[in-house]
DNA sequence: GATGAATGAGGATTCATTCAT
DNA sequence: TATGAATGAATCCTCATTCAT
């Protein structure tokens, strides 16, 4: 039956994707071979190409779905309104929440962003990250203008610290909410409190 | 003359090392081939092996000299004494100072630490990083005990944020001292100031 | 069909193995390149790695199957019982029989045993050869005790002469049974008869 | 002074030759690199080429001096006359005596004869070995004709067993005279005595 | 003579991808 | 749709030999 076939196809595609996610997270994108993924998925390497055009398509889907969610969440946070501080709080919470659901993507992005960014294939990653950076920077700059946040700290720089700190956190085994809490505390009030 | 030859050898070795540093920084360790380095150094690939046993030796030397300096600097900072806040200030300054002189090492460590850590060849990196982590954690914990620093933030987690933030900063084109200043301000007092 | 595919795979694997056997026999193990084997097998060099993990695996399989058969044959001979002389006769016959079916293995072992024995990968060869040496020595020593064989000749030394003589014989174009006959006559009664 | 220089040159040449002998014996010809020899000789690799045209020249000299001596000894033995048995006894003694002074040559010849024989460069080895084989065969055939030796054993085959047995013996740590004695006893009267 | 850096062809191995079945 | 053998370019590394100094 047509539907059953479609469902099967989709189910297997998801299995492969999930396996790839795990392996990329564990070993890194480049260190994981297509055959590794096929073996761990219970299919043969040739069959992978029924589901995905290439290894790049695979990681692209993993990364894109992370960035898509991230952008969606961030846009939602900003749309909700509120002062800069509470917005930042919700951005941080959103960041760790998304990371929790896309650990592999966070890890790969953290480890291999530089490498991937050089490939034309992944130009759209750069664009998406630029939008994210813009959202954060805008919030911070608004806080500086309103006097909520100190004026002597660069928004873009701060975002970068945040971005890398969040991704790095994917490597640590610690509940997302706890990480988010500590991170926010540090970000807003610093070690001196 | 003997001395001249030695000097030439050393000079060319340094050229190769510098070229490797640049390429590793730009493209990443794995994405840079031995031939890339040879080409850019103006020698044939086989000639590289006069200077370095292997590609791993090359990156090892780059990373080790960074971590060696880092440990030296950090030990000096701690030995100088002072309260936790001033110690942290000097640790941050030291971190950015060392990074400035070892940009490639910082970048590689940031991007490929996960991959390198899995190779037995680089077990010593893990050890060295553990010592560094210990130094930082101890300072933070001391500050918490003395009341200088807030007690609700985990020292090890904080160090990890710092470590990744600093390494990530190697990718940004911004003077080290400015980065250090912003970073320290953020670390101690947070965005709210 | 599944079976057909398996059969094809196996058949081609055997082709590669046979080609490797011939080339190793003709040129020696080290002097034969993986590409030589691939070319002579009608595949590309990369394809060899579907069938064999490495060049070492290839020679290992060739040598192991020889030694396995040799040990099986020798154990059978000893289990059959009989006096020392008749046992020796059957050992010699068995040696030349196995050599006839594993000429390449005999040649490689003869020419490159010293080299291979130094590689950890081939430690098991040493063990297997030790067992073979033990079987032969035991038979000779038993003959000396029973008075069938002269007491002034060292069993281990004799076995070594036999081993190298047999392997060397693989290089000569002469029917195995004739070789075995001449060899046994020489071994038991010497040139003087 | 001219003589002094010549003497020095000759002395160093001998050192290199001796070192090469030892390394070839220990590791085999192909497994020993020119640099290994240079290092162990206390010269630099480039300097080796003042003394020897090539690695092949080096092994050639080692092998040739062995075969030269062997031929000289064998010719002397035959020229001395005597019956076939005593001639054989002196041939065996001569073989082990020469082997004792040229262990490396014996080992290399044993392990890599097949490989070297394929190179045009070493065609003369084949010729020299043919002469040696001729000498031995002639003695054995003479013994068969005179009735001293049994007529059913092929002379050439016997010589081959001897040749390989002797070379193989170079690998065993056992005094040459003892080896010669055991070998001769086995050769003439066999295990049955 | 002596040096030792430089050469460059050639070695084994890997792996994303293709395609006939 | 699924298979899995085949591809072939690319990778790191080796080493006998040369040659400017």
Averaged pLDDT score across all residues of chain D: 91
- Same structural domain, D175 and D86: yes
Question: How does pLDDT run across D139-158, given as a tens digit for each residue?
Answer: 999 999 999 999 988 888 88
CB D45 within 8 Å of CB D35: yes
Number of domains comprising chain A: 2
Nucleic strand F near CB of residue A9 (< 7 Å): yes
More confident residue, D8 or C13: C13
Instruction: Kindly determine whether residue B111 and residue A107, on different chains, have CB atoms separated by under 8 Å.
Output: no
Closest nucleotide to A58 by C1' from CA: E16
DSSP string, chain A: -HHHHHHHHHHHHHHHHHHHHHHHHHH-TTTS-HHHHHHHHTS-HHHHHHH-S-HHHHHHHHHHHHHHHHHHHHHHHHHH---HHHHHHHHHHHHHHHHHH-HHHHHHHHHHHHHHHTSGGGHHHHHHHHHHHHHHHHHHHHHHHHTSS-TTS-HHHHHHHHHHHHHHHTTS-S-HHHHHHHHHHHHHH-TT-
- Same structural domain, C35 and C110: no
Looking at residue C1, its pLDDT comes to 46
As a whole number, mean pLDDT of residues B65-91 equals: 96
Averaged pLDDT score across all residues of chain A: 90
CB A14 within 8 Å of CB A65: no
As a whole number, mean pLDDT of residues A28-49 equals: 92
Predicted confidence (pLDDT) at residue A1 exceeds the cutoff of 60: no
Looking at residue B33, its pLDDT comes to 95
Task: Tell me which chain C residue has its CA closest to the CA of residue D168.
Answer: C164
Quick one: which of B145, B133, B165, B131 has its CA closest to B84? B145
Looking at residue B154, its pLDDT comes to 87
Nucleic strand F near CB of residue A161 (< 7 Å): no
Model confidence at A5, pLDDT cuts 50, 70, 90, reads: low
Residues in chain D with CB shorter than 8 Å from the CB of C161 are 161, 165, 168-169, 183, 186
Looking at residue A53, its pLDDT comes to 93
As a whole number, mean pLDDT of residues C24-39 equals: 93
Span CA (D141) to C1' (F17), Å: 48
Model confidence at A170, pLDDT cuts 50, 70, 90, reads: confident
- Same structural domain, B121 and B174: yes
Averaged pLDDT score across all residues of chain C: 91
As a whole number, mean pLDDT of residues C187-191 equals: 90
Looking at residue D6, its pLDDT comes to 74
Looking at residue B95, its pLDDT comes to 95
- Same structural domain, B43 and B60: no
- Same structural domain, C79 and C161: yes
Q: Which candidate from D112, D160, D179 shows the least CB-CB separation from C172?
A: D160
- Same structural domain, B145 and B79: yes
Looking at residue C3, its pLDDT comes to 63
CB A144 within 8 Å of CB A87: no
As a three-state string, the secondary structure of B40-70 is HHCCCHHHHHHHCCCHHHHHHHHHHHHHHHH
Domain finish residue from A33, A52, A71: A52
Q: Which two tokens stand for residue D48?
A: 């080796």
- Same structural domain, C132 and C40: no
Three-point CA angle D43, D47, D52, nearest 5°: 115
Predicted confidence (pLDDT) at residue D163 exceeds the cutoff of 80: yes
Catalogue the E-assigned strands of chain C. Answer: none
Of chain A, the percentage scoring pLDDT greater than 70 comes to 97
Looking at residue A111, its pLDDT comes to 84
Question: How does pLDDT run across A101-147, given as a tens digit for each residue?
Answer: 999 999 999 888 888 888 888 999 999 999 999 999 999 999 999 99
Q: Which two tokens stand for residue C134?
A: 């033990």
Who contacts B52 (Cβ-Cβ below 8 Å, separation ≥6)?
A: B16, B58, B61
Which CATH number do you get for residue C36? 1.10.10.60
Model confidence at C2, pLDDT cuts 50, 70, 90, reads: low
- Same structural domain, A90 and A114: yes
Residues in chain D with CB shorter than 8 Å from the CB of C27 are 115, 118
- Dihedral (C-alpha) D146, D149, D153, D159: value to the nearest 10 degrees? -100
Interface test with D, best of C186, C188, C189 (most D CBs within 10 A): C186
Nucleic strand F near CB of residue C4 (< 7 Å): no
DSSP string, D98-111: HHHH-HHHHHHHHH
Quick one: which of A86, A64, A157, B130 has its CA closest to A165? A157
- Same structural domain, B171 and B87: yes
CB B155 within 8 Å of CB B144: yes
Nucleic strand F near CB of residue C8 (< 7 Å): yes
* Contacts within 8 Å (CB) and 24+ apart, C172-181: C172/D157, C172/D160, C174/D157, C176/C96, C176/C97, C176/C99, C176/C100, C177/C93, C177/C96, C179/C96, C179/D157, C180/C92, C180/C93, C180/C95, C180/C96, C180/C97
Question: How does pLDDT run across B6-58, given as a tens digit for each residue?
Answer: 778 888 899 999 999 999 998 899 999 999 999 999 999 999 999 999 999 99
- Same structural domain, C125 and C165: yes
The tally of CA atoms less than 13 A away on the side-chain side of residue B8 is 5
d(CA D61, CA D54): 11
d(CA A133, CA A168): 17
Measured from Cα to the C1' atom, the residue closest to E19 is: A46
- Same structural domain, D128 and D79: yes
Model confidence at C5, pLDDT cuts 50, 70, 90, reads: low
Residue D8's domain comprises 1-52
Looking at residue B4, its pLDDT comes to 61
Looking at residue B1, its pLDDT comes to 46
Question: How does pLDDT run across C62-121, given as a tens digit for each residue?
Answer: 999 999 999 999 999 999 999 999 999 999 999 999 999 999 999 999 888 888 988 889
Would the CA dihedral through B147, B148, B149, B150 be positive or negative?
positive
- Same structural domain, A107 and A93: yes
Alpha carbon of A21 to those of A7, A71, A164: distances in Å?
21, 20, 20
More confident residue, A21 or A172: A21
Span CA (C49) to C1' (E8), Å: 27
Closest nucleotide to B47 by C1' from CA: E6
Of D residues 39-58, those with CB within 7 angstroms of nucleic strand F are 45-46, 48-49, 54-56
Which CATH number do you get for residue A144? 1.10.357.10
Put simply, whether A4 touches B (Cβ < 8 Å) is no
């Amino acid at each position: 039956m047509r539907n059953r076939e479609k469902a099967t196809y989709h189910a297997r595609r998801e299995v492969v994707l999930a396996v790839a996610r795990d392996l990329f997270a564990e070993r890194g994108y480049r260190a994981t071979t297509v055959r590794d993924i096929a073996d761990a998925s219970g299919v043969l390497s040739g069959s992978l190409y029924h589901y995905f055009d290439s290894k790049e398509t695979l990681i692209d889907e993993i990364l894109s779905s992370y960035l898509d969610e991230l952008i969606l969440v961030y846009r939602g946070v900003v749309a909700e309104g509120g002062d800069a501080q509470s917005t930042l709080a919700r951005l941080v919470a959103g960041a760790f929440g998304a990371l929790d659901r896309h650990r592999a993507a966070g890890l790969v992005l953290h480890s291999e962003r530089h490498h991937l960014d050089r490939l034309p294939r992944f130009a759209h990653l750069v664009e998406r990250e630029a939008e994210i950076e813009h959202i954060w920077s805008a919030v911070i700059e608004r806080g500086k203008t309103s006097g909520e946040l100190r004026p002597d700290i660069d928004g873009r720089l701060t975002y970068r610290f945040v971005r890398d700190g969040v991704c790095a956190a994917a490597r640590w085994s610690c509940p997302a909410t706890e990480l988010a809490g500590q991170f926010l505390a540090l970000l807003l009030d610093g070690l001196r409190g």
